[in-house]
Amino acid sequence: MPPFEHLDRLGIFGGTVIVAHAVYPTAREIKLMAERRVGVVHNPGSNMKLASGVAPVPEMLQAGIAVGLGTDGSASNNNLSIFK
């Protein structure tokens, strides 16, 4: 079972939830996150440094998911500036 479906089954998506990264959600998971009004914090600098992948931000925005920008922590990012 994909991670976001598993979290939903556990009842995690029943309240206010913001997830970090969301690099590899399936189309079904994107729809689920939109339905449950789950927010996403996209951390592009961290994802590039760790080679985690690229979050499907356009698809998430198109589905109506609120997407913010973050920097993650200093262990996974050389700079905590959102603009750098």
Q: Which pLDDT does position 84 carry in this prediction?
A: 72
* Domain boundaries along the sequence of the chain: 3-76
**What is the rounded CA–CA span in Å between residue 74 and residue 57?**
23
Determine which of 24-28, 29-33, 39-43, 46-50 has the lowest per-residue pLDDT on average: 46-50
**pLDDT, average across residues 13-39:** 93
3-state secondary structure of 27: helix
pLDDT value of residue 71: 85
39-59 pLDDT tens trace: 999 998 888 888 989 899 999
